[in-house]
Amino acid sequence: MSGFVVLAEFQVKPGCLDAFLRLAREDASHSLRDEPGCRRFDVTLLHAVENRVLFYEIYDDRAAFDAHLATPHLARFREGFPALAEQLPVRFASLQPS
């Protein structure tokens, strides 16, 4: 099954990891529950860099991701995260069938 993959990384400010993760998990849970085109949304901590968080998201297609960009829960995340973290460049990929 193919899919549209989004890799979003954040460098979380010292002392802000718990607050950032709460905000991120709220966005992820709403994405999975409220968006039919969102198949996966993992919030992960990278081992190589302290306080680096990676979102691994899979959508049915680009249109489903574009719909995600217009959701109220993403608006709340976008409003809240700048005080907690710096967003690094977002990368996109294609999930290839096995």
> pLDDT at position 98, please?
74
Q: What residues does 9 pair with on adjacent strands?
A: 54
> pLDDT at position 96, please?
87
**Mean pLDDT confidence for 81-86:** 98
Say how far apart CA 80 and CA 63 lie, in whole Å: 25
* Length of the chain measured in residues: 98
Say how far apart CA 33 and CA 10 lie, in whole Å: 23
Residue 5's φ and ψ, nearest 5 degrees, are -105, 135
CATH number of the domain residue 66 falls in: 3.30.70.100
Are 55 and 94 contacting, i.e. CB atoms less than 8 angstroms apart?
no
The boundaries of the domain holding residue 39 are 3-95
- Candidates 26, 18, 35, 17; CA nearest to 76 is 26
pTM over 0.75: yes
Q: How many domains does the chain have?
A: 1
Kindly indicate the confidence band of residue 83, based on its pLDDT and cuts at 50, 70 and 90: very high
pLDDT tens digit sequence for 54-79: 999 999 999 999 999 999 999 999 99
Helical spans, DSSP H, in the chain: 17-34, 62-68, 72-80
